[in-house]
Every structure is written in C-alpha cells, then in structure tokens.
Amino acid sequence: MSVHAAVPSIGPEDTVELPSGVAVLMYHYVRPDDAPCRVGAGRVDLPTFASQLDDLARRRTVVGWPEVAAAIDGRATLPDDAVLLTFDDGHDDHHRYVLPMLAERGLTGVFFVMARDAREGLTVAHRIHVVLGTMGPAELRARLLDELDIDARARFLAAETAHGHAFDDEVDDLKWVLQRDSIDDVGPMLSRLVEELAGPEIEVAEALHLDARQTRELHAAGMTLGGHTHGHRWLDHVSVADARAEIGASVAQLSALAPGGAWPFAYPYGAPPADPGALLRPAGFRAAFVATGRSRTDRWRLGRVDAETLGPRPSERARPADVARPMSAAHPADAARAADAARPRDAARPADAR
C-alpha cells in the first residue's frame, strides 16, 4: 500500500543548524572477499576502510553521536570539518571487522541495527542480496516470473511498467519492484532461493547479521546504537500504522540495549514517511538520516554520503555539496531517483536497498 503525501513544512522544532561542511558517512558491508555469507552487494573492502579511517583521522574531525546530538539540540557547536561514521543494517561485518578497526584508532560510530532475531530469517532486501551473490538479476527475474501466479505476475509487470527503467540499471529496477509492489508476492519465493543457493535461511541470517551479544558488545565498546526498523520496509510505501509498528520495534530493542532515548534513526532505503517527526519524536528519537542528500537543517531528513563512492581518501570528497546522486543498487542500493525528482528539498532522496 502506497501512502505518498506531500512532505510537511519544517516546523521550528524540526529545524537544526549544523555546519554546512559536516559530513555523515554511510556504510553497509565492510568486508574482505572471503567474508562469511556471500552477497551480491557492494562493499567497502578492508584496506580501503582502513585508509578511509586514517585519512579522516588525519584531515577531518571524527565525532560521535553525543557531539552531533548536542549540536542538533543547540547545546554545542560542531567544527565545520566534523565527520560522523554510520553503519546500517546490523551486519556481522560491523562486529567482526569494523569494531576492532575503530577501536584501534580511538574512533566511534553509529550502528543502525535492525530489531529482529536471526530465527525470523532475512528481510526481503537481504534475501535479494544473498540470491544475487550467486544468480544474476535477469535470471532472478525470470525465475520469479515463472513461479508467480497469474494475479501476482500481473501486479509485478504492472509495477515494472509504471516504474519503467528509471535507474537505467537492471538491478536497481528489479529491486524497486521486488521491495515495494511485489514484496508480499516474492518474499516466500526468495526464501526458497536462499535455501537452494546458500543454505537454511536461519543459518544464513546468523552469518550475515549481528546477534544480541555482538550488539551489546558494540554498545559496551562506546558505539552508539540507532534504530533501523524490524522489517527493513520502505516507510514511504507502507501505512502509517505499519510505519509506527516498524519504528516501535526499534524502540523496544533500543530501550533494552541502550536505554535513555535520544537515539538516532536511519530510514531503510533512505525513504522517510510523509511526516517522520510525528512518528519518531514521540518514540524517543532525536534525529533521523536519509541515505543521500545535503540537508543539515531538517532534523528528520539529515543527509549522508555513501562511503562506497569515496575511495581511500574521503576527506577530499566527503563534503555534502559534493554528493548529489542517489546510490546505485548495483552496489547494491535502491535509489528512488524518479521519486526524488518530485520531492521538495534536497535531503529527502530515498536510496539504498541494504
């Protein structure tokens, strides 16, 4: 169900004043070639990640969420060269590789973890990642169309026609349809493909994502935990009740692991609901991040820079004004380029299928 609506005007309580040079870097997979659980998704490899951290530590001021939250509240000022590191989806990579590399350099980051247990299996987004680790997008599309019943096939093809080839990339275009209009139809089929290609889905989920112990250890090491929903759904494409439930799952998780509220939130795919503040503020969140964009003034649509695009010396490229394009789903991100063209302001660009 789509619930697109005009983005409400920013009220005084939603306006923040962060320096225009502040950069928020966004990571998903950070891993070597031989990481557990193969995925067909972009990544930052470990040598590049190490180079990025060293470059930022030398040439920028790496800050943590407490400093950013204080600046958002007007209680402190950030330097114009401040950088905040953020990591989405709660991947095993983040405990296995990222945590020790941050700790070695005395740096911290924000980890947007999903409020789910491996026994629930993978989200549809991550089933797609796993399947694309072995199967190309054209073959995946053909397999799904072959198995869909007549009505589901008609919905798929209608959504595909409506979307067109807006991304000019077969992976982006396919993911858009699978994760939005056809998500309920293809979810069970993707689970069967995961089992066929990678093994029992619960075991794959255990290999791909953080467990509760790892998440607690991130927090104990001084990392900030943030909300990223339960099902990794497009919050601009579900009902308000479903969006509230997704956010509520994050509240329950964070209340247990990092009590106190004032948490950050990151929208799956970078896609906020129509009135995010109305959902996030009463739930205890302090601010929220999209996946691309340049905003440093809208508390609920703060922009980020995809670290996969920056190379080993991000200090030279990680300024918000340098990043105006949505992330490519071949990396794998799902950027809503067409939707973004119709959105007011420059920070509300959905992206990222991770």
Domain positions in the chain are 12-122+218-341, 124-197
| DSSP one-letter code for 328 | P
At 9, give phi and psi (nearest 5°): -65, 150
| DSSP one-letter code for 309 | G
65, two tokens? 């969420």
Helix (H, G, I), strand (E, B) or coil at 343: coil
Q: Which helix (H) or strand (E) holds 256?
A: helix 240-257
Distance from C-alpha of 269 to C-alpha of 291, rounded to nearest angstrom = 7
> In sequence order, what E strands does 159-266 have?
224-227, 263-266
Residue by residue, pLDDT tens for the chain (354 residues) are 334 444 444 455 788 989 888 999 999 999 999 988 999 988 999 999 999 999 999 999 999 999 999 999 999 999 999 999 999 999 999 999 999 999 999 999 999 999 999 999 999 999 999 999 999 999 999 999 999 999 999 999 999 999 888 888 888 899 999 999 999 999 999 999 999 999 999 999 999 999 999 999 999 999 999 999 999 999 999 999 999 999 999 999 999 999 999 999 999 999 999 999 999 999 999 999 999 888 889 999 999 999 999 999 988 776 554 433 333 333 333 333 333 333 333 333 345 445
What Cα–Cα distance (Å) separates residue 342 from each residue in 158, 309, 337?
Answer: 21, 24, 9
The rounded Cα 214 to chain-centroid distance in angstroms is 19
210-245 pLDDT, tens per residue? 999 999 999 999 999 999 999 999 999 999 999 999
Its pTM stands at 0.88
Q: In CATH terms, is domain 12-122+218-341 a member of 3.20.20.370?
A: yes
69, two tokens? 């939250």
User: Are 84 and 63 spatial neighbours (Cβ–Cβ below 8 Å)?
Assistant: yes
